[in-house]
Amino acid sequence: MARSAGVLLSITSLPSPYGIGTIGKEARRFADFLKEAGQTIWQLLPVGPTSYGDSPYQSFSTYAGNPYLIDLDTLVEEGLLTREELDSRDWGDDPEKVDYEKIYNNRYEVLKIAFENFKTQDQKKYRSFVRKNSKWLKDYALYMAVKSSFDMKSWIEWPEDIKMRKPEALQRYERRLSQDIAFWKFAQFKFFEQWESFRAYVNDLGIKLMGDLPIYVASDSADTWANPEVFQLYDDGDPIAVAGCPPDHFSATGQLWGNPLYDWDYLEQTDYEWWSERIKANSALYDIIRIDHFRAFASYYSIPFPAENAVEGEWVPGPRMKLFNAMEEILGKVEIVAEDLGELTPDIPELMAQTGFPGMKVMIFGFEGEERYQLDQMDTDNCVVYPGTHDNEPLMEWLEDAKPGDIAYARAICNMQPDEPFNWGVIRTCYGCRANTAVISMQDILGLGKGSRMNKPSVFGGNWAWRMSADAASEKIAKELKILSVQSGRSKE
């Protein structure tokens, strides 16, 4: 990756009159801000349809787009909705927080109105989209239709015949739920139609989209239901073991994610076709793919099912270079960033060196405790440096709660002047280090503190809700970022 700078901001965090950010006008406006700020990367959180808990890392499909991100104003312009149908609904009271309950209760209702109106329009592009994406779309649309008919229960709780995908059951539900299936296909058609336009706009500004690919899929997903052979499951669909990570500084009992683990022996026998198809699909969404929890390709943490926490897990060898060699043979070179954080065993640096993928460095981890480090530990080209990620508290929240000695240490290693704002001192240090790429969260750029954190790992509820105010991405901030970008050689302008 060339020397560059970027910003981390979830699409859901963009301003919008409809309770959650979308890939419409405000997304383009933010891309314009990035251009003015000398940025060439926009890092996103996963854009798949979210399930229970609203986490973008627990999606109903690894291929589908989140219907929440469809821009409703565009549907009005296309004659599929009226302004009154949108303005009459309660999208939430706080413009800087997503109210997911209200979004869930209203978003699908208006999309179904749009779907009914769409039936009278030209279907040529829609039919082409359905044909082109039939391999995953058929399973996803059927999954969502069946799931909706059973009050959104997980497929593990469905009647045995459809749970186990008996051919006669599949045919029966396809007939019974044909209109619901068509609706879910329509929602995906509109998402990808809008995404293609959004990505083209961003790319035309010279900005790349860095998308986040969760290494695991959700147990409650079309992927698991339709491809049980890919995962470590019993014959009845229950997991043999699940994913997570051991106790660390985030949690004394570890993190029990609950995702099914891959059957890497089976995947090797199929030349990793399932994974190659997944990477190929994400390459159609993003210019750069950041693979979350990359370390699990070297060795993954396996927690016996069921379990109350992640204490009793064990490390098991992953596929390592066999997977990436197979993928490169099928797909060629794909631009990937590896999230190589967490508990690092010797096999991680070895795999990173073999792949050549850039890893990640997080400044805030080095400000306190035994993990303190000097800047020379970040003195490497092939990495992406962050003050903090979506899983960390924003810098100004850390500053509010940190010990005086840790604050003094942070100021010292960043060589801050007494009157320099703490967040800008850290940003300046990230920009000035050798790392090829520096990515800063929008919360840190804005100097926001408590109430703006995106996610607190191992804590259920209250996450993923922060939104940026309508006037936050100002011309003044763009100029300040541009100056840093030019001074640090991260912008050619």
CB distance 60 to 25 below 8 Å = no
Nearest in space to 173 (alpha carbons), one of 135, 141, 142, 138 = 142
Please identify which of the residues 36, 347, 391, 480 carries the catalytic annotation.
Answer: 391
Whether the CB-CB separation of 141 and 204 falls below 8 Å is answered with no
**Cβ atoms of 468 and 72 closer than 8 Å:** no
Beta bridge partners of 300: 316
- Single out the catalytic residue among 71, 292, 340, 444: 292
User: Taking the mean position of all CA atoms in its chain, how far away is CA 140?
Assistant: 19
Annotated catalytic residue within 26, 54, 180, 339: 339
DSSP letter for 435, please: -
Task: Note if 391 is an active site residue.
Answer: yes
* Active-site residue, 292 included: yes
Q: What are the phi and psi torsion angles at 157 (to 5°)?
A: -100, 5
Judged by DSSP in three states, 463 sits in: coil
Phi and psi at 141, nearest 5°, equal -65, -40
Q: Please report, in angstroms and rounded to a whole number, the separation of the first and last CA atoms in the chain.
A: 18
Contacts 24+ apart (CB under 8 A), 111-114: 111/67, 111/70, 111/183, 111/186, 111/187, 111/190, 112/183, 113/80, 113/81, 113/85, 114/75, 114/80, 114/81, 114/186, 114/190
User: How far is Cα 103 from Cα 51, in angstroms, rounded to an integer?
Assistant: 13
Task: Give CA–CA dist 299/160, Å, rounded.
Answer: 34
Query: What is the DSSP-derived secondary structure letter of residue 481?
Result: H
Query: Do the bridges between strand 4-8 and strand 41-43 make them parallel or antiparallel, or are there none, so unpaired?
Result: parallel
In this structure, what is the dihedral angle of CA atoms 95, 96, 101, 104, given to the nearest 10 degrees? 70
50 beta partners: 59
List the structure tokens of 392.
Answer: 């960390």
Buried b (16+ CB within 10 A) or exposed e, 160-176: eebbeeeeebbeebeee
* Residue 339 annotated to the active site: yes
Q: What is the DSSP string of 382-408?
A: SEEEES--TTSPPHHHHHHHS-HHHHH
Number of helical H runs and strand E runs in the chain = 19, 12
| List of residues 6+ apart from 18 with CB closer than 8 A | 72, 86, 91, 107
Environment class of 356 (CB within 10 Å of its CB; exposed 0-12, middle 13-18, buried 19+): exposed
CB 435 within 8 A of CB 384: yes
- Catalytic residue numbers read 292, 339, 391
